Amino acid sequence: MLVHDITHYLSSQKQKIEQVLPLYIDHLQAPSILKDAMNYSLEAGGKRIRPLLLLSTLKAFNKEEEMGLPVACAIEMIHTYSLIHDDLPSMDNDNLRRGKPTNHIIFGEANAILAGDGLLTYSFQLIADMNEELVPPSTKLKLITELAKAAGAEGMVGGQVADIEGEGQALTLPELEYIHKHKTGKLLAYSIMAGGIMANASAEKLEMLESFALHLGLAFQIRDDILDIEGSEEAIGKPVGSDATNHKNTYPSLLTMSGAKAKLEYHIDQAMTTIKEIGIESEILEYLCQLVGSRQN
Amino acid sequence: MLVHDITHYLSSQKQKIEQVLPLYIDHLQAPSILKDAMNYSLEAGGKRIRPLLLLSTLKAFNKEEEMGLPVACAIEMIHTYSLIHDDLPSMDNDNLRRGKPTNHIIFGEANAILAGDGLLTYSFQLIADMNEELVPPSTKLKLITELAKAAGAEGMVGGQVADIEGEGQALTLPELEYIHKHKTGKLLAYSIMAGGIMANASAEKLEMLESFALHLGLAFQIRDDILDIEGSEEAIGKPVGSDATNHKNTYPSLLTMSGAKAKLEYHIDQAMTTIKEIGIESEILEYLCQLVGSRQN
């Protein structure tokens, strides 16, 4: 596949996800302010990297991406709920995200919390309700179990708690990796694993997908930390150097900038080696992996 | 069954639920402060009316209650998460619940939000992971779909948003009923429906169970409103008259006290008539229904 074809493929899939997401919300019989609050953050954009990873994994296994759309949307809803709750005054207290006022600034704190709760709850319904001719019941249940693990106390929620616990403390590298593996890594990994699960991948291939995904997740986070120092304010949508201002533990602060860059390269290399070994049509996943390592926002 | 046997049955089931709940949390690999926060509110007690309704419904269909324990715990986790989030400063701003400091008072606001998120997420995992020999995949999926509807934007979360919207406004009776049907009714109804779903009840019986449950739910709320005026501070665990102080819309404020009592009686009667018509061994459900109408706390 030519790079041009890959980028065209990804932008058309992104468009599809962004068309479907608000339809799911419109469909709800709920107070309109709640639906508005849920939609506001879902529509705020972003790279949609998680749903794209899921759909690209399905494609790598020669499966119809269509079957994965509800899971892709469920993952994006969980990611979005986590951003809404993270931005709250009692957490990161952010007034802006991607250049727009955060959810609680527009809808108030109570509605923002409840919009997050609603998105989280709905995500499980989307998976349970999938077309049974495309996804059999046992597969749906595996998708639900793994999503709950990736998003809950053993995954993203646990990572967020560890992140708060670590604030203002000098962390070791393993402590920092624990936080990122859980706070962002597990849901990113799930996006890829879910594709493998739907494609009935063997246990061995699922394990390799997971290894690919965890390296990709850490690379994603390290690139984030680097961009906070070397990126352009316009591209990243927040002030450069905010991690240092907030005394955040980052890869550059623990390893120096060149150490962080070496670590980034290591994880990208590991991810690339693993994905090539699986024996699937992994071109788009490889492209996304390279993109994660070099992205400017 | 003698009343003595019924109360003995209920207290032994309550004990079982309270034994199992913390085991589910202990089992999690997560930061200990998160597990402590999740357990703190789960262990804070309460009537456990939802899990008891579920187990009693299974018993009415002559099914082993054992099979329902994970769903019973899942429902209690969702109820508990909703209390944690409701008590937050940006919602009801309550410092005490059942005589104990609320979750955010002990663990801080961020951890309280995350403990709630963790409980909500985990509840779906408990159902997806149930023993397949007792509960087949298609039943689990139905349980998950209905739980998401009862707890999410179309249910509890929607009711909570409507409640916040209605604050300080004079509501009509239909508006007040919308709030209660959603904020407390749907999850209470789910507790009963879930028993019917697991017992493979016919569509007709499920519909009658739902009607029973919705009347019970409204009765539960009306009794709450009455107790806030006529109850004893010691028994209800909060100051008498707090609804009036907070200018809350209640059944007595809309219908007068005698109107509210007539409405309570109406819903209890409707519930009792319906449950007796289903043709199941409904003695314990009838007892719980009477209890809801006459409870002192």
B152–A121 C-beta distance less than 8 A? yes
| pLDDT tens, per residue, chain B with 297 residues | 888 999 999 999 999 999 999 999 999 999 999 999 999 999 997 899 999 999 999 999 999 998 999 999 999 999 999 999 999 999 999 999 888 999 999 999 999 999 999 999 999 999 999 999 999 999 999 999 999 999 999 999 999 999 999 988 999 999 999 999 999 999 999 999 999 999 999 999 999 999 999 999 999 999 999 998 998 777 776 777 778 877 888 999 999 999 999 999 999 999 999 999 999 999 999 999 999 988 888
CB of B86 within 8 Å of a chain A CB? The answer is no
Chosen for mutation from A86, A161, A175 (greatest number of chain B CBs closer than 10 Å) is A161
Q: Confirm if A289 and A248 have CB atoms less than 8 A apart.
A: no
Nearest to A31 among B28, B149, B162 (CB): B162
Of A31, A121, A140, the CB nearest to B161: A31
Q: Does the beta carbon of A167 lie under 8 angstroms from any beta carbon of chain B?
A: no
Task: Find the residue in A nearest to B124 (Cα).
Answer: A148
- Predicted pLDDT of residue B235: 73
Asked if B124 is an interface residue toward chain A (Cβ–Cβ < 8 A), one would say yes
Residue range(s) defining the domain that contains residue B244 = 3-294
Of A95-99, A106-110, A241-245, A246-250, least confident by mean pLDDT is A241-245
Is B165 within 8 Å of A33 when comparing Cβ atoms?
yes
Residue A168: pLDDT band by 50, 70, 90 thresholds? confident
Is the minimum CB–CB distance between A128 and chain B shorter than 8 Å?
yes
Q: Does position A243 have pLDDT exceeding 90, yes or no?
A: no
Distance from CA of B289 to the nearest CA of A (A): 29
- Secondary structure string (H, E, C) spanning chain A: CCHHHHHHHHHHHHHHHHHHHHHHHHCCCCCHHHHHHHHHHHCCCCCCHHHHHHHHHHHHCCCCHHHHHHHHHHHHHHHHHHHHHHHCCCCCCCCEECCEECHHHHHCHHHHHHHHHHHHHHHHHHHHCCCCCCCCHHHHHHHHHHHHHHHCCCCHHHHHHHHHHHCCCCCCHHHHHHHHHHHHHHHHHHHHHHHHHHCCCCHHHHHHHHHHHHHHHHHHHHHHHHHHHHCCHHHHCCCCCHHHHCCCCCHHHHHHHHHHHHHHHHHHHHHHHHHHHCCCCCHHHHHHHHHHHHCCC
Q: Does residue B34 belong to the interface with chain A, where contact is any CB pair within 8 Å?
A: yes
- Domain count of chain B? 1
pLDDT digits (tens, 9 = 90+) for A52-101: 999 999 999 999 998 999 999 999 999 999 999 999 999 999 999 888 99
Q: Is the CB of residue B122 less than 8 Å away from at least one CB of chain A?
A: yes
CATH number for position A215: 1.10.600.10
User: Is any Cβ of chain A less than 8 angstroms from the Cβ of B90?
Assistant: yes
Q: Which residue of A has its CA nearest to B179?
A: A31
B229 touches chain A (CB under 8 A): no
Identity of the residue in B109, B122, B160 whose CB atom sits nearest the CB atom of A114: B160
pLDDT score, position A1: 80
The pLDDT value given to residue B50? 96
A35 interaction partners in chain B (CB closer than 8 Å): 153
CB pairs under 8 A between A and B: 153
> Which ipTM value was assigned to this complex?
0.96
Calpha distance B200→A128 (Å, rounded): 18
Interface check for B33 against chain A (CB to CB < 8 A): the answer is yes
Chain A positions touching B110 (Cβ under 8 A) are 88, 90-91, 164
User: Is A93 an 8 Å CB contact of chain B?
Assistant: no
Q: Is A1 on the interface with B (CB under 8 A)?
A: no
Per-residue confidence (pLDDT) for residue A26, from 0 to 100? 97
- List B101's β-bridge partners, or say none: B96
